[in-house]
Structures are given as structure tokens and as C-alpha cells.
């Protein structure tokens, strides 16, 4: 039995067989002889036919699942299977280079991709991505591999990977993924967030784990402590099976409070909302927990989960937003415009950068791509008549960005009015405060926002200059750091001075100590993943606001995280012992 330790990223115990998953795309390259050219040509034509069938099937599936318009997106891909220029280029290169056909196809499609992706025209950039995906599908088909995707998993497994892409998790088959184990990643990475939302136990940041595990090894993943066991002995297995049962029962313990309001013992109401990423997988869980609405829908997941890696059309977005608004109506649903970039890579639009979190991300991308932004705003406003919509913007650093956003909103509204397309006039527009700059300017920003929401995941990383995804510096990622708490006070006081509501939608709001800080500072709303809602409500209903306020006020004399933690621990063991 081998035992390893990592970052406990999503609560729960998973016991199951390992499935090694690596999204890195590797293509073999070797020489062939003249007499092999005909056979390689036949393999190429067979693969073209097979890929054409695959696309046709995907199109039919989408016609059933989404709209006809969305399904039509596959027409272009189907045409690629008959593209004479591409086919002739591949066959010429095959004869000239005398390399295996998979390599030639990969190289030709990659060259076309690189030529098109740099053109300053979205049509060609879309085609570039089409070509890349088409090339990969052809190569995979020729390698007789199923296009590897977590959506294809059809038996219960624990997914083991070097670095899972967020887009992988967006398509993952939740029914069969028992647990997640990765070499890279942090507790507030988006892989961790999705795992929590889907209630999948996860341990991240276990160094070199992939090299130690073979396909189908038996694993235990302990999402509480971060422990991982490979081929455990009988005693450990029995212990963890009991722990798993205990975990499931402890979850049930809270079910009775779902109908009760989220209010402190001394009657201070704190609205409790859910965060969502993948509505079609999460909606039942989210509706069941008895929330006051959706405090954060990370709309970029719609882009990341799009089957053919294309941007979702306005129509597709409209349908997705309408779906979630109708489900929760009349409760508010806060939809955040796309936050791509950072660890959320959308091929062809964002890429791995040197400093991904300081780069081309979130609102910067939206403002740089007016058509993309306008499509999203149009879809949102069109959907607004189906429920109680609030729109929120990520990664704002100053009021100049707000001015640009509001101008776009005015343009979209004017256009809809001109075309007699209905939309609601009651849509509230809010700002995420997740950069130190926005926090320092919270008086100005709050004066120009209907509400604000604190993105503590980013605010902590930017305040402390610690990459939230980097397990090597995870010990420095301290949400209870004195500088963070000062920053939070500034934001919450700023919002209240401007007479607007302030919520928290980062992971810190779902953690017992973090939540106490927010309650004490006077937060109006908490939005958290479905897996935390019951516990958060239980905590809110177990404390007196006035006492928590005194506690938090007393923390400002401390200059180190450890001292603050110690005070909170003391308080928790006195007042919330029953919940630990």
C-alpha cells in the first residue's frame, strides 16, 4: 500500500478504480516505405468517412438536446470531411514526406490552424478551431482511439490526471466520476470548484502521482484530509468504507434546515444563494437545497462545455439563461459574464500565458471582443423576461471599465428596442470586487453599481500575490490574512455607505472561519456551492450577529494569520462545537 498527501479540495471519500486521464495530445511520427503509401491512403479515407458519421451523429444529438440552430454549427465540420484542398494537401505530403498518415494529418491541420488563428477576423478564427478539432478527431480515429473525453466514461472511476483542464470537468460524466486526483492545482482552482459543486471528492496537488498509479489500481481519495492511498490494505479499506458512510450520514443530518430561513439568532437575515457552473448537471441539487436564488452563475462554463469547442451562439446562450431563470423564478439569478482566461482556457480565444491570472482574462476579453460581448448581453437581456435576472461583471479594476460596459448595455438595449424584442427594465447590474484595485476604489465602484459581490478567491490571490492554482505556494494562500480582512472591511463598509447590498461568492464564504469574518463585517448575502449551503445555513442560524461582530472587531489588532486563526478557533470551540 502506498500513501500520499495533497490538498483537500472537495469534501467526501471516494473509493474506486483509477482511470488515468491525460488531455495532452501526442501523435506518433515515423517513416514509412513506398509500398505502405496506398495502405496509409486507405486509412485516411476510412477515417474521413468515420469522422463524417461522427459529426452527423453529434448533429442529430444536438438537434434533440439543443436547438436546430446550434446543431447547424456542425454543418461546417461535416463539410471539412470533403474539403478537397485539405485532402489533396495531405496526400501530397504523404507521398513527399513518407511519414505515417496520423503525423501528416496532424501537421497539415496544425499548419492551417496557425495560419487562420492569427487573422483579425472571427470567422477565420472559428474556422481555425474547427480545423484543429477536425484534425485531432481524424488522428484519434486513425489511432483507433476513442476521442478521449471525460464525457465518455461509462464505468465508475477515480479520475487521475496531471493537470485537469477546466473544460474537461465541464463535460465530465458526473454519474461515473467517483473522485478526482491531480498532480497540480489548488483549493480554489476551478477544478476544485466544479468538484465541490458536483459533490465529487477531490485531492489536488499530489506530486508525481500519475507515475505511481496504473490504470485500474484501487484508490482511496480522502477529500477531507487530502490523503490518498494506492491499493490499500484490508484494514485501511474497511476503515475508509466506514468513513464514507459516516460522511454520507453527516450530510443527511442537515437536511431538516432546508425549509428554514437563513437568519442569525438575533434576527439578522443573511440571504443564502447557490453558485452554479454546469446547470444541466447541477440544477436538481441546486433547487433542492432551499436557497434564496443563484448568487453566481459562472457563464463561461457554457463556453467551455460546448461540444465542438465553439463559442455558444446567442440563441444557445439565450436558451441556457432562460432555463435557469425560469427554474428559479421569482428568486434572483445572478449571471456573471464570461470569465475565461486564467485556468479556463478556451482554445482559439485564450491561451496559457506567462502570468495567466494577470493577463487576458474575464472582462478584458469581453471588452476586447465586442461581438462576443454583445452576443452575451443580447442573450441575457432577451432572457431577462423569464425571471429575475441580475448581471455581474468579473475582474473589474476601475470605473473606466464600468463606463465601457454600460455603454455596451445601452447599445444592446437600444438595438432590442428598435427590433421590438422584449426585455426587462428591472435587471440589476453588479460588479465583482476581486482585485485590490476595485477594493481600494469601492466607494466609486459602489456608487456606480446596483450591488457588489466579493470574489474572495481572486481577491486573496491578488492581495497576497499568490497564484491560487499553484500548489507550491499554497501555504501562502491565506484567506484569513490580516491584509485580506482589512480589504474585506473596506469593501463591505463602502457598499453600505453607498446603500447597496454586498455579497460574497468566493470559497471563503463557505468556510466556517471565513464565514464568521463575513458575518461579523456585516455581509448581506452569501453565495456558495451546493455542497456548503446546509452547513453555512446551520452556522448562520447558530450565531448571534452582535457577538460575531464583536469577535471580528477584536481581530484587527493582530498582525499575523496564525493569531487570527487561533482567536477564531477559540471562539468556535466555545460557540459552535456542535458543528465541528
User: What does each C-alpha distance from 255 to 194, 362, 528 come to in angstroms?
Assistant: 22, 36, 17
Q: What whole-number distance in Å separates Cα of residue 533 and Cα of residue 293?
A: 12
Beta carbons within 8 Å of 462's beta carbon, 6+ residues apart: 357, 434, 435, 436
Q: How many CB atoms lie within 10 A of CB 268?
A: 18
Largest CA distance in the chain: 85
Q: What whole-number distance in Å separates Cα of residue 427 and Cα of residue 325?
A: 12
Residue 338 C-alpha cell reads as 464570461
What part of residues 416-455 is at the interface with Mg ion (CB under 5 A)?
A: 434, 455
DSSP category for residue 77: H
Please report how close the Cβ of residue 457 comes to ligand PEP at its closest, in angstroms.
Answer: 3
Segment lying near ligand PEP (by CB under 6 A), choices 96-104, 383-391, 452-460, 492-500: 452-460
Active-site entry in 19, 190, 446, 481: 190
505 binds, among Mg ion, ligand PEP, none (CB under 5 to 8 A by kind): ligand PEP
Segment lying near ligand PEP (by CB under 6 A), choices 54-62, 367-375, 420-428, 450-458: 450-458
Helical spans, DSSP H, in 343-398:
363-368, 370-383
Q: Are strands 428-433 and 202-204 parallel, antiparallel or unpaired?
A: unpaired
490 binds, among Mg ion, ligand PEP, none (CB under 5 to 8 A by kind): none
Q: Determine whether 446 is an active site residue.
A: no
**Of 93 and 336, which has the nearer Cβ to ligand PEP?**
336
Torsion angle defined by CA atoms of residues 276, 278, 281 and 282, in that order, rounded to the nearest 10 degrees: 0
Among 458, 467, 471, 507, which residue interacts with Mg ion (rule: CB under 5 A)? Answer: 458
**Of 153 and 302, which has the nearer Cβ to ligand PEP?**
302
Q: What whole-number distance in Å separates Cα of residue 191 and Cα of residue 266?
A: 37
Q: Is 509 near Mg ion (CB under 5 A)?
A: no
8 Å CB contact between 473 and 467: yes
Active-site entry in 19, 210, 446, 505: 505
Q: What whole-number distance in Å separates Cα of residue 365 and Cα of residue 393?
A: 12
**Of 232 and 479, which has the nearer Cβ to ligand PEP?**
479
Q: Determine whether 190 is an active site residue.
A: yes
298 binds, among Mg ion, ligand PEP, none (CB under 5 to 8 A by kind): ligand PEP
8 Å CB contact between 146 and 140: yes
Q: How many CB atoms lie within 10 A of CB 173?
A: 14
**Of 77 and 442, which has the nearer Cβ to Mg ion?**
442
Among 458, 524, 525, 567, which residue interacts with ligand PEP (rule: CB under 6 A)? Answer: 458
Q: Is 457 near ligand PEP (CB under 6 A)?
A: yes
Q: Is 434 near ligand PEP (CB under 6 A)?
A: yes
Please report how close the Cβ of residue 80 comes to ligand PEP at its closest, in angstroms.
Answer: 34
Q: Is 277 near ligand PEP (CB under 6 A)?
A: no
8 Å CB contact between 558 and 482: yes
Torsion angle defined by CA atoms of residues 29, 31, 33 and 38, in that order, rounded to the nearest 10 degrees: 20
Q: Is 339 near ligand PEP (CB under 6 A)?
A: yes
Q: Is 300 near Mg ion (CB under 5 A)?
A: no
456 binds, among Mg ion, ligand PEP, none (CB under 5 to 8 A by kind): ligand PEP
Q: Is 435 near ligand PEP (CB under 6 A)?
A: no
What part of residues 503-562 is at the interface with ligand PEP (CB under 6 A)?
A: 505-506
User: Using CB under 6 A as the criterion, which residues of the chain lie in contact with ligand PEP when the complex forms?
Assistant: 296, 298, 339, 434, 455-458, 505-506
User: Using CB under 5 A as the criterion, which residues of the chain lie in contact with Mg ion when the complex forms?
Assistant: 434, 455, 458
**Residues marked as catalytic:** 190, 505
Amino acid at each position: 500500500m502506498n500513501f500520499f498527501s495533497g490538498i483537500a479540495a472537495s469534501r467526501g471519500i471516494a473509493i474506486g478504480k483509477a482511470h488515468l486521464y491525460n488531455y495532452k495530445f501526442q501523435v506518433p511520427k515515423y517513416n514509412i516505405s513506398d509500398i505502405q503509401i496506398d495502405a496509409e491512403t486507405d486509412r485516411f479515407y476510412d477515417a474521413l468517412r468515420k469522422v463524417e458519421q461522427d459529426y452527423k451523429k453529434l448533429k442529430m444529438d444536438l438537434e434533440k438536446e439543443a436547438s436546430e440552430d446550434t446543431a447547424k454549427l456542425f454543418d461546417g465540420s461535416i463539410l471539412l470531411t470533403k474539403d478537397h484542398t485539405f485532402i489533396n494537401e495531405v496526400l501530397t505530403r504523404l507521398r513527399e514526406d513518407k511519414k505515417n498518415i496520423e503525423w501528416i494529418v496532424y501537421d497539415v491541420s496544425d499548419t492551417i490552424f496557425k495560419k487562420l488563428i492569427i487573422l483579425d477576423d472571427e470567422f477565420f478564427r472559428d474556422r481555425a478551431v474547427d480545423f484543429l478539432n477536425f484534425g485531432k478527431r481524424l488522428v484519434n480515429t486513425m489511432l483507433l482511439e476513442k476521442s478521449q473525453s471525460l464525457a465518455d466514461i461509462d464505468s465508475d472511476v477515480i479520475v487521475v490526471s496531471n493537470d485537469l483542464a477546466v473544460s474537461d470537468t465541464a463535460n465530465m460524466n458526473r454519474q461515473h466520476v467517483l473522485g478526482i486526483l491531480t498532480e497540480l492545482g489548488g483549493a480554489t482552482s476551478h477544478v476544485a470548484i466544479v468538484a465541490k459543486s458536483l459533490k465529487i471528492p477531490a485531492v489536488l496537488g499530489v506530486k508525481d502521482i500519475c507515475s505511481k498509479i496504473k490504470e485500474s489500481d484501487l484508490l482511496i481519495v480522502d477529500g477531507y484530509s487530502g490523503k490518498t492511498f494506492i491499493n490499500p490494505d484490508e484494514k485501511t479499506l474497511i476503515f475508509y468504507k466506514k468513513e464514507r458512510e459516516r460522511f454520507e450520514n453527516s450530510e443527511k443530518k442537515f437536511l431538516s434546515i432546508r425549509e428554514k430561513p437563513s437568519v442569525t439568532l438575533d434576527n439578522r437575515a443573511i440571504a443564502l444563494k447557490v453558485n452554479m457552473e454546469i446547470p444541466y448537471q447541477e440544477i436538481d441539487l441546486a433547487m433542492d437545497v432551499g436557497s434564496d436564488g443563484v448568487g453566481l452563475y459562472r457563464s463561461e462554463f457554457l463556453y467551455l462545455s460546448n461540444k465542438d469547442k465553439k463559442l455558444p451562439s446567442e440563441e444557445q446562450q439565450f436558451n441556457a439563461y432562460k432555463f435557469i431563470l425560469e427554474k428559479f423564478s421569482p428568486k434572483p439569478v445572478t449571471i456573471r459574464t464570461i470569465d475565461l482566461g486564467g485556468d479556463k482556457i478556451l482554445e482559439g480565444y485564450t491561451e496559457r500565458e506567462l502570468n495567466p491570472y494577470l493577463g487576458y482574462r474575464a472582462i478584458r476579453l469581453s471588452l476586447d471582443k465586442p461581438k462576443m460581448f454583445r452576443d452575451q448581453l443580447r442573450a441575457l437581456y432577451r432572457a431577462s423576461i423569464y425571471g429575475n435576472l441580475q448581471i455581474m461583471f468579473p475582474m473589474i479594476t476601475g470605473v473606466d471599465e464600468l463606463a465601457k460596459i454600460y455603454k455596451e448595455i445601452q447599445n444592446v438595449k437600444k438595438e432590442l428596442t428598435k427590433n421590438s424584442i422584449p426585455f426587462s427594465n428591472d435587471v440589476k447590474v453588479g460588479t465583482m470586487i476581486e482585485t485590490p484595485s476595485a477594493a481600494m476604489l469601492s466607494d466609486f465602484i459602489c456608487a456606480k453599481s446596483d450591488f457588489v459581490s466579493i470574489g474572495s478567491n481572486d481577491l486573496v490571490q491578488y492581495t497576497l500575490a499568490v497564484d491560487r492554482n499553484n500548489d507550491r505556494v499554497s501555504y501562502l494562500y491565506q484567506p484569513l490574512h490580516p491584509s485580506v480582512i482589512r480589504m474585506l472591511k473596506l469593501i463591505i463598509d463602502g457598499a453600505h455607505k453607498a446603500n447597496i447590498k454586498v455579497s460574497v461568492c468566493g470559497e471563503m464564504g463557505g468556510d466556517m472561519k471565513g464565514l464568521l469574518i463575513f458575518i461579523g463585517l456585516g455581509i448581506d448575502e452569501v453565495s456558495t456551492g451546493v455542497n456548503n449551503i446546509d452547513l453555512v445555513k446551520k452556522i448562520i442560524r447558530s450565531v448571534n450577529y452582535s457577538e460575531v461582530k464583536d469577535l471580528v472587531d477584536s481581530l484587527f489588532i493582530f498582525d499575523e494569520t496564525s493569531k487570527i486563526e487561533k482567536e477564531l478557533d477559540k471562539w468556535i470551540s466555545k460557540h459552535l462545537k456542535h458543528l465541528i
